[in-house]
Chains A and B, each alone.
Chain A
């Protein structure tokens, strides 16, 4: 039996990089590379389902643009969230700063009163 058949049972779980998948979708790969991508797809449900959705697209050359658009949207979301976290961290700490200042004022006032009572 041909040893290649053993490949059927192996689960390589090899990740396909996005660029390679884009080249595959645009028929820019050699037969060997194409076969390699397909062998990885057979073991990866996520990539396989994604390919089912991407393959029927009419204008596949628009894909890199769409990806860039989604990625910049993601960066904006992350930036917004970071700003919100920083603001809420400051809001959380505001009460601590207020309490420290109040305590200092009370200590100073107490010191002044004590000083006046016992000159």
Chain B
């Protein structure tokens, strides 16, 4: 298969191809798709460029060894879990992270690939509007501006005076809270 073709195929197919042919070059192509994300996650936790770069290489090595031993279904979620656990272990060794690495910290493939079905009926939209009104002002404002007015984080930050990080986390936390509320409402209706 040509290199161009390989670059066009998705992670799942590429991983399957690697398992079938046991060709490390395919694993290299797959891993290189995530170098930037791995570096970013390591930088977030370790806060040091050199340490983050070393960690990315250690994660690469871990993946090369582990993938030969286990059959992985959802590569991206699994890689994220490996990277996050690696960083948390490093912090724990330094005494900067005391919580236990447990199932709650590990993101499972099911969690991260679970799809929240798009709202189709009016009832769901009504519930959504109610849930939105129950959010705090900051989350409500950021979510409405982001999704209704299609503004960027930067534009919302300028308009509201919040920092970009505040906008980002308000949207993400707000979304999470909305989903929890919606699930609760759906449960109560049953």
CB-based nearest A residue for B84: A49
Smallest CB gap from A82: residue in B: B24
**Known: A4-B148, A45-B112, A77-B60. Contact between A18 and B80, CB under 8 A?**
no
How many A-B pairs fall under 8 Å by CB?
A: 148
B110-163 interface (Cβ within 8 A of A)? 112-119, 124-125, 128-129, 132, 143, 146-148, 150-155
Please provide the chain A residues from 42 to 81 with a CB less than 8 Å away from any CB of chain B in the complex: 42, 45-55, 57, 63, 66-67, 69-71, 73-75, 77-78, 81
Q: Find B118's partner among A10, A21, A31 (CB 8 Å cutoff).
A: A10
Please report the C-alpha to C-alpha distance between residue A1 and residue B130 in the assembled complex, in whole angstroms: 12
**Does B105 make an interface contact (CB < 8 A)?**
no
Evaluate contact between B36 and A35: CB separation under 8 angstroms: no
B76 at the interface (CB under 8 A from A): yes
Interface assignment of B172: CB less than 8 Å from any CB of chain A? yes
- List residues of B (48-89) whose CB comes within 8 Å of A's CBs: 49, 52-53, 56-57, 60-61, 64, 76-77, 79-80, 84
User: Contacts of B60 on A, CB cut-off 8 Å?
Assistant: 70, 73-74, 77
Interface flag for A94 (CB, 8 Å): no
Q: A21-B36, A74-B60 are in contact. Are A46 and B41 (CB under 8 A)?
A: yes
A38 and B36 within 8 A (CB): no
Main secondary structure on chain A at its contact with chain B? Answer: helix
Q: If A6-B119, A6-B125, A42-B175 touch, does A52 touch B182 (CB 8 Å cutoff)? A: no
Show 27 residue pairs from A and B whose CB-CB distance is below 8 angstroms, ordered by the A residue.
A4-B147, A5-B125, A8-B178, A9-B116, A9-B124, A9-B179, A18-B35, A18-B37, A21-B37, A32-B150, A35-B146, A35-B151, A38-B153, A46-B77, A46-B79, A50-B44, A53-B39, A53-B45, A54-B39, A57-B43, A66-B39, A67-B36, A70-B60, A73-B57, A77-B61, A78-B25, A78-B27
- Given A31-B155, A57-B43, 4 new contacts (CB under 8 A): A6-B125, A6-B128, A35-B146, A70-B60
Chain A residues engaging chain B, CB cutoff 8 angstroms? 1-2, 4-11, 13, 15, 18, 21-22, 31-32, 34-35, 38-39, 41-42, 45-55, 57, 63, 66-67, 69-71, 73-75, 77-78, 81-82
Task: Give chain B's interface residues, CB within 8 Å of chain A.
Answer: 24-25, 27-28, 31-33, 35-45, 49, 52-53, 56-57, 60-61, 64, 76-77, 79-80, 84, 107, 112-119, 124-125, 128-129, 132, 143, 146-148, 150-155, 164-165, 168, 171-172, 175, 178-179, 182
